Structure 1
Amino acid sequence: MREVAHLTHGQVIEVLVANRLFASAPLVRVGDWAREWAVEEVFGIEADLLNDDRIGRALDAVAPELEHIVGTVGASAIVGFGIDVPRLYWDMTSISLHGAYESPEEGFPQVKYGHPKDRRADLKQIQAGIAISADGGIPVFHRAYDGGAGEVSQVVGAMTALRELAAPRDFLMVGDSKLISYGNLLALREAGVRFIAPAPAAKIPDGPFAALDMGQAQPVDYIAGRDAGKPPAKRGHYRVLEDTQTLSGPRKRDPQVTVRRILVHSSANAAAQQAARTRRLEKAREELDRLRSACGGRHYATVQKITARIGVTTSKRRIGSCLVTSISTDEAGRPALTWHYDQEALAAGAEVDGWYALLTILAAADADAAEVLIRYKDQPGIERRHSDFKGPLAVAPVFLHHNQRIAALITVICLALLVFCLIERQVRQALGGDQTVRGLYPDNRPLRPTGRMVLHHLADLRIRTGTATDPPTIQITRGVQAHLLELLGIDETRPRWLETSKPMCETRV
């Protein structure tokens, strides 16, 4: 594990291939996988020696060293690859699990019920927090947490670890709304750690947004990634205003924390929210009209049943603020429903579409309101790394008996993610300019290469067996393969392999 921190560009692919042991794929025996991916030829490990029990023992050996591995590998990657870490993005994700785990190992994250990101509340889970650098989107730090741990309560611990990782340089911590609480802001301020995070919706009522004057908002020179290829007229645009917000502690003697508040309006968000509201209103209209027609019938013969059904629609479609209903009964006691939408309430809701708030303690001299937004907008990059974590590097079903093995496996996957992202960063840096390359897709259009696409094109490279006078070489079948190897600084005429009992044969690497 510690060797990962000292990778050369030529060894990067080998380490990632080794970590493909856990890659999402049709279920195969570990030994078969090892033969397919030339583990014996490259690493000198006989394929038949690899099995589920050996994986378990390896995870047991890794588990006691997790803190050391995570800290040293992340720090060494920062130094060895020149990763710039003045800005780190922190977020947590969840991994759903099957099983009881009734005898957990002490000192390791506990498998518990929580609030899973995949909405499988019926499953227990373990959580993982990942810190991503703005430079290349590299996961330089990670940590596993109990399944039931609250994200808000993990911020201070993550902040302490990231400050040590970035030392002696100051860093900017960017997170989601879970970062914002009185205790967290107080700790961040006292530690001198700068941060940017969106204010939770509960802490910003609609009233302040409705009172904002769009004409006074400052335009921001920023183009979202999704709009980069669109004509200017169809691109979303952003505007910002600035004020302050003060948070008070639970006790009167607690010091108040005042932070800068950047009020952001996104035209794309506004359009999306308006479209979503229209869909909700239309769905609710259909349901309410059906209910009105069914009033007095067998299923809705009483006011109580009608009221209950209105409550279901109101909650499901989130229309409680604008729905006005009235239930009357005739002389025979049959109920009747009338309803309408409050147009003033709808107009008031439309006034706040597209607005949200960012909180920060960055000094105005270091970043004005527009710059705060621009620094925050890289936050979706960490969501992409979570997608990589659960996509190209997703774990195939593995039976793990103890929570310490789960924690160790998370670290192995995160180290694979680190190497995966370093490959992507290396290729993009070597490209320079617009960081695009042709040949990744059949239509030959220029694209920014991703780690997934790089490995897709390199996955079917083959080695031509060598002789005493003619060393083995990598066989390249497509021009894009040669280009990617060149960008990675890999000499295809000098493949790395070990002397083993079996002669080298044509196989994948």
Structure 2
Amino acid sequence: MTHGQVIEALVANRLTSPAPLVRVEDWARCWAVEEVFGIGPELLNDDRLARALDAIAPHLDEIAGTVGARAISEFGIDVARLHWDMTSMSVHGAYPAEGQDEDFPLIGYGHPKDRRTDLKQVQAGLAVAADGGVPIHAKVFGGSAAEVSQVIGAMKDLRAMAATRDFLMVADSKLVSYANVSALLQAGVEFIAPAPAAQVGNEVYAALDLRQAVVVDWVPDRDADKPPEKRETYRVLEDTHVLNGPRKSDPPLTLRRILVHSTANAAGQQAARAKRLAKAAEEFGKLTTAAGGRHYRTREKIVARIGVIAAKRRVTSCLRWAVTENEHGAPVLAWHFDQAVLDAEAAIDGWYALLTCIPADRATPAEALIHYKSQGTVERCYHDFKGPLAVTPVSCSTTAVSPP
């Protein structure tokens, strides 16, 4: 077999019933690969698959770029708007650094999306066209690579592939850094991305008047069959956002800021808050009853427990409490939630911000939001290749751990 025949079989495997390399031979036998491709299943053993993958690895960027460009021209894919996102894939096993090839992304610790910080990972970036959600560019990154640092490289790759300077790049909040935004503006690439939470204070949302916001004429696919009164509603306002550089000499960057209110987000945040308050109230009620008893005889122990509950249930900002003594000198706990603080939190429920450099005459705030709402397309594409696979480490050292 040629390497091309092997890769063709692997592509077919990913599109039908993804399997680890050691099980592709069994897949080929069950899925009539010999009848379709003329390849005997016994030829698709893991050693042969590994040799093919090793052979194309040094040329992967060239191959991916060629395939993407060919798809764009062959099928007339509109690349005026491209969605970029990164994900992480956790792996079980030792994967020592000294046993990996430094010419390729290294498996290592990082900030995994699945929060499995106990596992090492590898990361992947994927770009899809808004036109049909067709994946046109993919890249692998090491486990420790900072996601925010990959935006400029992705932008350059996409611009080269699109063969035009005029395209819109939609990404998540990791795009928004001074270096990234500066590079995008200098390259003439327009973008839309959520503003990082740390860059837009709650006081901004608290000052907004929902009655002044414009209703967006757009319905999520998941609500298409629901009656109008049960559909998620979006409203938008607009102002400006100034992004300052790390040095005083860096010129400030002024962007359009689209302030979005989602009724579904608001309902979800309200429900989450109610759940946290209910659990905290239950635990504070038990502590109130136990105060002065065998386990909480001193003020110090009660105060320590209050801190644990408040931090765990995230109610520190609204919790008001006092520990006094009764006529017998035993500690007594009194507490309540500050309604004014809760009302202030509720006032900003449902709000978030998008940043963009698209000129106002080319996209209204509502249109900018609709562009961004297609970001879920790239996330859904990860389902095609991301999932739990029981892969045994190639090198079975004493420190390697095979998954169950």
Given the two structures, how large is their TM-score scaled by the length of structure 1? 0.72
- Select 2:318's aligned residue among 316, 319, 322: 322
Distance in 1 separating the partners of 2:177 and 2:301: 41
Q: Does 1:202 align with 2:220?
A: no
1:23 paired residue number = 18
Question: Take 1:56 and 1:297, find their aligned partners in 2: how far apart are those partners?
Answer: 66
Whole-Å separation in 2 of the counterparts to 1:79 and 1:101 = 40
Question: Hey, what does 2:69 align to over in structure 1?
Answer: 75
Q: CA–CA distance in 1 between the matches of 2:16 and 2:213?
A: 52
Deviations 1:4-43, CA, capped at 9 Å, x for gaps: 9xxxxxxx9x875344587159x98443322212222222
Q: Could you tell me which amino acid in structure 2 is paired with residue 195 of structure 1?
A: F
Q: Give the 5 Å matches for 1:49-68.
A: 49-68=43-62
Contact 2:244–2:253 (CA under 8 A) maintained in structure 1:
yes
Pick aligned residue for 1:300 from 296, 301, 304: 296
Query: What letter corresponds to residue 278 of structure 1 in structure 2?
Result: A
Q: For residues 119 and 311 of structure 2, what CA distance do their matches in structure 1 show?
A: 25
- By how many angstroms is 1:85 displaced? 0.9
Whole-angstrom distance in 2 between the partners of 1:28 and 1:99:
17
Partners of 2:3 and 2:233 lie apart in 1 by 46
- 1:187 is the counterpart of 2:183: yes
One-letter amino acid matched to 2:77: I
Equivalent residues of 2:258, 2:355 under 8 A apart: yes
Displacement after TM superposition at 1:279 (Å)? 1.0
**In structure 2, do the counterparts of structure 1 residues 20 and 83 end up closer, same or farther at CA, with 3 Å as the change threshold?**
closer
Runs (5+) with no aligned partner, structure 1: 5-11, 403-509
Tell me the distance in 2 between the aligned counterparts of 1:267 and 1:21.
39
**Structure 1 pair 31–374 and aligned structure 2 pair: CA distance change class (3 A):** closer
Residue-by-residue CA offset, 1:143-174 (whole Å, 9 max, x unaligned): 11111112111111111111111122511111
Mapped to 2, the partners of 1:21 and 1:226 lie a distance apart of 26
Task: Determine which of 113, 124, 129 is the counterpart of 2:125.
Answer: 129
| Counterparts of 1:33 and 1:96, CA distance in 2 | 24
Could you tell me whether the CA contact under 8 Å between 2:89 and 2:386 is conserved in 1? no
Aligned with 1:390: secondary structure? coil
**1:98-128 alpha-carbon deviations (Å, 9 max, x no partner):** 2222222012111111111111110000111
Report if aligned partners of 1:128, 1:142 keep a CA contact under 8 Å in 2: yes
Contact 2:13 2:27 in 1 (8 A): no
* TM-score (norm: length of structure 2): 0.90
What is the deviation of 1:75? 1.1
* Structure 2 spans left out of the alignment, 5+ residues: 397-404
Larger mean CA deviation between 101-110 and 190-199 belongs to 101-110
Determine if contact 2:14/2:384 at 8 Å carries over to the other structure.
no
CA 1:54 to 1:300, structure 2 compared with 1: closer, same or farther past 3 Å? farther
Instruction: Classify 1:107/1:232 alpha carbon distance in 2 versus 1 (closer, same or farther; 3 Å).
Output: same
Preserved CA contact (<8 Å) 2:13 2:19: no
Counterpart in 2 of 1:382?
378
CA distance 1:192–1:30, shift in 2 (3 Å): closer
2:115 paired with 1:110 = no
Task: For 2:248 and 2:41, locate their aligned partners in 1 and report how far apart those are by CA, in whole Å.
Answer: 66
1:94 to 65, 74, 88: 88
Could you tell me which of 377, 384, 391 is aligned with 1:397?
391
Structure 2 CA distance for aligned equivalents of residues 3 and 229 of structure 1: 45
Q: Match of 1:51, as an amino acid? A: N
Would you say the 8 A contact 1:17–1:37 is kept in 2?
Answer: no
Bigger RCO (CA 8 Å, 6+ sep)? 1
User: Is contact 2:191-2:358 (8 Å) kept?
Assistant: yes
Equivalent-residue separation in structure 1 for 2:4 and 2:69 (angstroms): 13
1:156-195 equivalences in 2 (<5 Å): 156-195=152-191
The residue correspondences of 1:387-426 to structure 2 (distance < 5 A) are: 387-391=383-387, 395-401=389-395
- Shift in CA distance, 249/401, structure 1 to aligned 2, threshold 3 Å: farther
What is the one-letter code of the residue matched to 1:158? A
Any conservation in 2 of the 1:56–1:400 contact (CA below 8 Å)? no
After TM superposition, give the deviation of residue 3 of structure 1 in Å: 7.0
Are residues 174 and 401 of structure 1, via their aligned partners in 2, closer, same or farther at CA, if it must alter by over 3 Å? farther
User: Letter of the aligned partner of 1:209 in structure 2?
Assistant: Y
The residue type paired with residue 44 of structure 1 is G
Distance 1:348 1:18, change over 3 A: closer
Distance 2:295 2:231 in 1: 49
Look up the match of 1:231. 227
Farther off after superposition, 310-319 or 264-273: 310-319
CA distance, structure 2, for counterparts of residue 398 and residue 170 of structure 1: 45
Question: 2: distance between equivalents of 1:322 and 1:287?
Answer: 15
Structure-2 change in CA distance of 1:20 and 1:202 (3 Å): same
Q: 2:365 aligns with which of 349, 369, 388?
A: 369
Match of 2:341 in 1: 345
Partner Cα distance (2:317, 2:296) in 1: 24
2: CA distance, partners of 1:400 / 1:21: 24
Instruction: State the distance in 2 between where 1:216 and 1:20 align.
Output: 48
User: What corresponds to 2:259 in structure 1?
Assistant: 263
Q: Tell me the number of residue pairs that the alignment of Structure 1 and Structure 2 aligns.
A: 391
Q: CA separation in 2, counterparts of 1:2 and 1:238?
A: 50
The one-letter code matched in structure 2 to 1:131 is A
Aligned-residue sequence identity (percent) comes to 59
Within the alignment, does 1:38 sit opposite 2:38 as a pair? Answer: no
CA contact (8 A) 2:257 2:353 kept: yes
1-structure distance, mates of 2:365, 2:141:
34
Look up the SS of the partner of 2:316 in the other structure.
coil
Q: Show CA shifts across 1:404-460 (max 9, x none).
A: xxxxxxxxxxxxxxxxxxxxxxxxxxxxxxxxxxxxxxxxxxxxxxxxxxxxxxxxx
Distance of 2:145 and 2:329 partners within structure 1: 53
Does 1:252 find its partner at 2:248?
yes
SS at match of 1:363: coil
Distance 2:209 2:139 in 1: 43
